[in-house]
Amino acid sequence: MGDQSEALLERVRAARAERRPLCPRGTGGKFHLGRPVDGEILDTLEHSGVVHYDPSELVVTARAGTLVSELIATLAEQDQMLPFEPPLFGGDASVGGMVASGLAGPRRPWAGSVRDFVLGTRVITGEGQHLRFGGEVMKNVAGYDLSRLMAGSFGCLGLITEVSFKVLPRPRASRSLQLRLTGEQARERVLDWRRRGLPLSAACHGGGLLRIRLEGNQGSVHAAVAEIGGEPLEDNHYWDKLRDHRLPFFDGAKPLWRLSLPPAAPVLELPGTQLSDWGGAQRWLKSDADTATLRQLAASAGGSATRFGGEEAEDAPFHPLPAALLRYHQTLKARLDPERIFNPGRLYADL
């Protein structure tokens, strides 16, 4: 517990001097995502603790090694939450890993992404400096937005040591329903409810059932339940299991793919079994179809396909970037991490 930033800084400086790659690690919960890195593990869990939390500011600041479960519990005491519902795959995650991976749970299409709630970060850069970007205020446009850039960067642009988040009050009312619908019917209903502003906060279709969650004040949630019909969702922990990949769908040896698609993308015939989360914008697929086929399917629907774990290694788990864009990724990485010490090759082989 406590501020270990000096020790982390020393580790980074030493690695930099010897050009030794470092692999920042939180809980190890997301090692199934991304390319393997041949580097020294930089454990961040000791650098932990909530630095500052003022519920009436809607802002919390925590060190990177803080366990996400602890952060969530601290917020819950004040009836507040991280609206993006971060997954805790291995049972828990670190704040740094949560931000670096940028993964969000079922509420994401309605509440926003991890980066949408990042207000500020402290980062140890590849130059071996401990810098601060953004801050603890809601609005701040001074300088480039390096804080939000860190979200989803998989530790390739620097070591996150501290993050400030915008948090929100927990909804007063929450009800979950299930309806027996085909994929096409589910798609149309969800799009219609969205357009009419019903208080949806999750919508997942699979196995002929659409499961939805409604959140808001009592009045709007009751009205929506009355309007939508269906029956109460049987499994009280369904959304947590979906978030953490603990549903039976995720079992089995076939590789797991994630397709990120436009919200109104059509129902797709995909090779394998699918679970359509985020109202259709995030489709989980258990499939042994080849990578090129899935990439092509996702791209032609306006999205991308990412490989999550699986038995055998996959050299390109993340959807490849267009050549020009990759070049700018490389240039940016070279400017911020000239010695390539942070997770080289984790996102892409030549990044």
Partner 1 sequence: MHYDERLDGPLPDVDKTALLDRLRRDLPDLHLLHRREDLTPYECDGLAAYRTVPMLVALPDTLEQVQGLMRIASDEGVPVVARGAGTGLSGGAMPLEKGILLVMARFNRIVEIDPQAGTARVQPGVRNLAISQAAAPYGLYYAPDPSSQIACSIGGNVAENAGGVHCLKYGLTVHNLLKLDIVTVDGECLTLGSDALDTPGFDLMALFTGSEGMLGIVTEITVKLLPAPPCAKVLLASFDNVEKAGQAVADIIAAGVIPGGLEMMDNLALCAAEDFAHAGYPRDAAAILLCELDGVESDVDEDCQRVRAVMENAGATEVRQARDDAERQRFWAGRKAAFPAVGRISPDYYCMDGTIPKRELPKVLAGIEALSREYHLRVANVFHAGDGNMHPLILFDANDSDQLHRAEALGGRILELCVAVGGSITGEHGVGREKINQMCSQFDADEITCFHAVKAAFDPQRLLNPGKNIPTLNRCAEFGTMHIHRGELPFPDLERF
Ligand X SMILES: Cc1cc2nc3c(=O)[nH]c(=O)nc-3n(C[C@H](O)[C@@H](O)[C@H](O)COP(=O)(O)OP(=O)(O)OC[C@H]3O[C@@H](n4cnc5c(N)ncnc54)[C@H](O)[C@@H]3O)c2cc1C
* Binding positions for ligand X, 65-104, rule CB under 6 A: 93-94, 96-97, 100-101
Q: Are 159 and 24 in contact (CB under 8 A)?
A: yes
Q: Are 142 and 119 in contact (CB under 8 A)?
A: no
Residue choice 196, 231, 248, 269 for contact with partner 1 (CB under 8 A): 196
Contact set for partner 1, span 217-246 (CB under 8 A): 217-220, 223
Compute the distance between CA of residue 7 and CA of residue 3 in angstroms, rounded to an integer: 9
Q: Which stretch binds partner 1 (CB under 8 A): 7-15, 26-34, 36-44, 166-174?
A: 166-174
Residue with the two structure tokens 């906060």: 201
Q: Which does 127 bind (CB under 5 to 8 A by kind): partner 1, ligand X, none?
A: partner 1
Tokens of 34: 């991304």
- The contact pattern for ligand X, residues 98-137, with x = CB under 6 A and - = no contact, is --xx------------------------------------
Q: Which does 157 bind (CB under 5 to 8 A by kind): partner 1, ligand X, none?
A: partner 1
Q: Which does 94 bind (CB under 5 to 8 A by kind): partner 1, ligand X, none?
A: ligand X
Compute the distance between CA of residue 63 and CA of residue 40 in angstroms, rounded to an integer: 21
Q: Which is nearer to partner 1, 20 or 52 (CB)?
A: 52
Residue choice 59, 64, 118, 212 for contact with ligand X (CB under 6 A): 64
Confirm or reject binding of residue 57 to partner 1 (CB under 8 A): yes
Total Cβ atoms within 10 A of residue 116:
15
∠ CA 100-66-158, rounded to 5°:
35
Q: Which stretch binds partner 1 (CB under 8 A): 7-15, 38-46, 239-247, 326-334?
A: 326-334
Contacts of the segment 196-202: beta carbons below 8 A, 24+ positions apart: 198/224, 198/227, 198/228, 199/224, 200/110, 200/279, 201/106, 201/107, 201/110, 201/111, 201/171, 201/174, 202/106, 202/107, 202/110, 202/176, 202/239
Compute the distance between CA of residue 157 and CA of residue 338 in angstroms, rounded to an integer: 10
Q: Which does 220 bind (CB under 5 to 8 A by kind): partner 1, ligand X, none?
A: partner 1
Confirm or reject binding of residue 202 to partner 1 (CB under 8 A): no
Q: Which is nearer to partner 1, 204 or 265 (CB)?
A: 265
Confirm or reject binding of residue 216 to ligand X (CB under 6 A): no
Residue nearest to ligand X (CB): 97
Report, in Å, the least distance between residue 165 CB and ligand X: 14
* Residues 6 or more apart in contact with residue 22 via CB below 8 angstroms: 11, 12, 15, 39, 40, 41, 42, 159, 341, 342, 343
Contact set for ligand X, span 1-60 (CB under 6 A): 23-31, 34, 36-37, 41, 44
Confirm or reject binding of residue 138 to partner 1 (CB under 8 A): yes
Q: Which is nearer to ligand X, 95 or 268 (CB)?
A: 95
Total length of the chain: 351
Confirm or reject binding of residue 164 to ligand X (CB under 6 A): no
Q: Which is nearer to partner 1, 208 or 219 (CB)?
A: 219
Burial of 154-177, coded b for 16+ CB within 10 Å and e otherwise, reads bbbbbbbbbbbbbbbeebebebbb
